[in-house]
Amino acid sequence: MNLKAITTEVCALAKETGQFILNERKNFSYSKVSDKGLNQLVSYVDIEAEKKIAAGLSKIVPEAGYITEENTQAENKDNTLVWVIDPLDGTTNFIHGLPVYSVSIALMQNGKTVSGVVYEINKDELFSAWKDGGAWLNGEKIQCSAALSLNDSLLATGFPYYDFKQMDEYLGVLRMLMRESHGLRRLGSAAVDLAYVACGRFEGFFEYGLAPWDVAAGVLIVEEAGGKVIDFQGAENYIFGKEIIACCAGIEAEFIRIVKEGFYKS
């Protein structure tokens, strides 16, 4: 496969979908929102955007299966090639008019991401990467931060919003990181958080309870930008394992230790 060419086509599709989402926001009403579960909101915009993306992807790599947030495509995650799609990451922000939401599209081969695109719609920022091809923002190569200590770091996280079983552990980690860093931010789109780690705006990010479509694209962008991605136990089950740490190399040991010890005390 020509991963660079595939990624270029996916970038164009992500931008086209982002424009649709932005146009729909102009006349959007909360009456058009439904609830898939506790605090898991969805609207017709999510569903229509996903259909548009899937239609476009079927022309780029037609043999690939799908893992999608809104289930508009039959799931086939056992294919050698699988598209992983979040048509609107940050739906709650979108619904409330907060301008941090994105399109996230990844192509996985044998369980590993080989192409990833995150389009931050309101800032018109297109993050992309393909395996061994580097990480890019609007055509310019990006790298993770050069920070060497948590004391010099700005971190990102996502608050638990439906799975509260590890709330005490989570708050304990927050307490520790507040003391050890420049602070923490919660933007509301994990795909954007990962993209911002890749370009050095954040030194690190952690969250639990995420789905594959939230992170599959962003993890490759971080890795290709020179960063580290891992789960809370120090393993590599960060796409399907619902736990993720992403950070620049300079804070890796310190950051991972705090999160791991906070959630898995010996």
Could you tell me the residue ranges of all domains in the chain? 3-141, 150-263
Residue 162 binned pLDDT confidence (cut-offs 50, 70, 90): confident
Residue 116 has pLDDT above 80, yes or no: yes
- What kind of fold does domain 3-141 have according to CATH? Fructose-1,6-Bisphosphatase; Chain A, domain 1 (3.30.540)
CA distance 55 to 86: 14
CA distance 187 to 233: 24
Is 132 exposed, middle or buried, given 0-12, 13-18 or 19+ CB atoms closer than 10 A? Answer: exposed
pLDDT at residue number 105: 98
pLDDT at residue number 77: 63
Q: What percent of the chain has pLDDT over 90?
A: 84
Residue 204 binned pLDDT confidence (cut-offs 50, 70, 90): very high
The stretch 96-102 carries a mean pLDDT of: 95
Residue 78 binned pLDDT confidence (cut-offs 50, 70, 90): low
What number does CATH give the domain 150-263?
Answer: 3.40.190.80
pLDDT at residue number 265: 77
pLDDT at residue number 165: 85
Helix axes 3-25, 44-60, angle to 10 degrees: 160
Residue 38 binned pLDDT confidence (cut-offs 50, 70, 90): low
The stretch 191-200 carries a mean pLDDT of: 98
The stretch 80-103 carries a mean pLDDT of: 95
The stretch 220-237 carries a mean pLDDT of: 96
